[in-house]
Amino acid sequence: MKNYKQIAVAVFAFSLLLGFSACKPKNAGSAVSSDAASKAYVAPGKYDEFYNFVSGGFSGQMSAYGIPSGRLLRVIPVFSVDPEKGYGYSEETKPMLNTSHGFVPWDDLHHVQMSKTNGDYDGRWAFGNANNTPRVARIDLKTFRTAEIIELPNSGGNHSSPFITENTEYVVAGTRFSVPPDDKNGDIPINSYKQNFKGTLSFISVAKEDGKMDIAFQIQCPGVNFDLSRAGKGVSHGWFFFSCYNTEQANTLLEVNASQKDKDFIMAVNWKKAEEYLKAGKGRKQSVRYASNRYSDITHSATSEIKTEVTVLDAKDLKDICYFFPCPKSPHGCDVSPTGEYIVGSGKLAALIPVFSFDKLQKAIAAKDYIGEFDGIPILKYESVLYGEVKKPGLGPLHTEFDNNGNAYTSMFVSSEVVKWNIKDLKVVDRVPTYYSVGHLTVAHGDTKSPKGKYLVAYNKITKDRYLPTGPELSQSAQLYDISGDKMQLILDFPTIGEPHYAQIISADLIKNNSQKFFKMEENKHPYFSNGEATTKVVREGNKVHIYMTAIRSHLTPDNIEGIRMGDEVYFHVTNLEQDWDVPHGFAVKGAANAELLIMPGETQTLKWYPTKVGIYPMYCTDFCSALHQEMTGYIRVSPAGSNVPLLFSTGKNYPVSDTAKAK
By beta-carbon proximity to ligand CUA, the closer residue of 269 and 552 is 552
Residue whose CB is less far from ligand CUA, 111 or 300: 300
For ligand CUA, give the closer residue by CB, 570 or 597.
Answer: 597
Q: What 3-state DSSP class applies to 402?
A: strand
- Rank residues 221 and 588 by Cβ distance to ligand CUA and give the closer one: 588
Taking the complex as a whole, the smallest distance from the CB of residue 349 to ligand CUA amounts, in Å, to: 55
Q: Residue 174, Cβ neighbours under 10 Å: how many?
A: 30
3-state helix/strand/coil string of 602-635: CCEEEEEECCCCCEEEEEECCCCCCCCHHHCEEE
Q: Pairing mode, if any, of strands 50-55 and 62-67?
A: antiparallel
Residue ranges in contact with ligand CUA by CB under 6 A: 551, 554, 585, 621, 623-625, 629, 632
What sign does the dihedral 246-248-251-254 (CA atoms) show? negative
The C-alpha R_g of the chain, in whole angstroms, comes to 28
Q: How far is the CB of 582 from ligand CUA (least distance, A)?
A: 12
Residue (59 or 606) nearer to ligand CUA, CB:
606
Q: 511 or 632: whose CB is closer to ligand CUA?
A: 632
Nearer to ligand CUA, 307 or 629 (CB): 629
Q: Read out DSSP for 231-262?
A: E--GGGTTEEEEEEE-TT---S-HHHHTS-SS
Cβ 627 to ligand CUA, closest distance in Å?
10
For the bound state, the minimum distance from the C-beta of residue 578 to ligand CUA, rounded and expressed in Å, comes to 9
Q: Which is nearer to ligand CUA, 35 or 623 (by Cβ)? A: 623
CA angle 402, 406, 410 (to 5 degrees): 40
User: What are residue 17's phi and psi, to 5 degrees?
Assistant: -55, -45
Q: 354: buried, middle or exposed (CB in 10 Å: 19+, 13-18, 0-12)?
A: buried
- 617-646 burial, b at 16+ Cβ within 10 Å, e below that, comes to bebbbbbebeeebeebebebbbbeeebebe
Judge contact between 49 and 30, C-beta under 8 A: no
In the complex, least distance from residue 574 CB atom to ligand CUA, rounded to whole angstroms: 10
CB of 550 to ligand CUA, least distance (A): 11
Least CB distance to ligand CUA at residue 518 (A): 15
Q: Measuring CA to CA, which residue among 535, 438, 455, 647 is closest to residue 68?
A: 455
573 neighbors 546 (Cβ within 8 angstroms): yes
Neighbours of 374 (CB within 10 A): 17
Q: Toward ligand CUA, which CB reaches closer, 354 or 634?
A: 634
Nearer to ligand CUA, 444 or 621 (CB): 621
Q: Indicate the residue among 419 and 598 with the shorter CB distance to ligand CUA.
A: 598
Q: State the Cα–Cα distance between residues 203 and 169, nearest whole angstrom.
A: 9
Q: How far is the CB of 632 from ligand CUA (least distance, A)?
A: 4
Dihedral pair phi/psi, residue 213, rounded to 5°: -105, 145
Q: Which is nearer to ligand CUA, 443 or 551 (CB)?
A: 551
Minimum distance of ligand CUA from residue 621's CB (angstroms) = 3
Dihedral, 455, 460, 464, 466 alpha carbons, nearest 10: 10
Cβ-based nearer residue to ligand CUA, 39 or 585: 585
Nearer CB in complex with ligand CUA: 268/621? 621
Return d(Cα 323, Cα 194) in angstroms, integer. 19
As measured in angstroms, the least distance from the Cβ of 485 to ligand CUA is 49
Indicate the residue among 147 and 632 with the shorter CB distance to ligand CUA.
632
**Contact between residue 638 and residue 613 where contact means Cβ atoms under 8 Å apart:** yes
How deeply is 470 buried, as exposed, middle or buried, from its count of CB atoms within 10 A (0-12, 13-18, 19+)? exposed
Residue 434 CA, distance from chain mean position: 24
Identify the sign of the CA torsion 156, 162, 163, 165: positive
Work out the angle at residue 453's Cα, subtended by the Cα atoms of residues 449 and 457, and round it to the nearest 5 degrees: 115
Closest distance to ligand CUA from the beta carbon of 575 (Å)? 13
Q: Between residues 363 and 517, which has the closer beta carbon with respect to ligand CUA? A: 517
Strands 503-507 and 120-130: unpaired
- Do 326 and 267 form a contact (C-beta atoms < 8 A)? no
* Nearest distance in Å: CB 602, ligand CUA: 15
Q: Tell me how far, at minimum, the Cβ of 553 lies from ligand CUA, in Å.
A: 6
Length of the chain, in residues: 664
Tell me if 471 sits within 8 A of 533, measured CB to CB.
Answer: no
Among candidates 479, 484, 486, 447, which has minimal Cα distance to 463?
A: 479
What's the closest the beta carbon of residue 605 comes to ligand CUA, in angstroms? 13
CA neighbours within 13 Å on the CB side: how many for 158? 31
How many other C-beta atoms are found inside a 10 Å radius of the C-beta of residue 249? 18
Q: How far is the CB of 622 from ligand CUA (least distance, A)?
A: 7
Q: What is the 3-state secondary structure (H, E, C) of 453-510?
A: EEEEEEEECCCCCCCCCECECCCCEEEEEECCCCCCEEEEEEECCCCCCCEEEEEHHH
What letter does residue 67 receive in the DSSP assignment?
A: E
Supply the minimum distance, in Å, between the C-beta of residue 145 and ligand CUA.
20
CA distance 149 to 579: 29
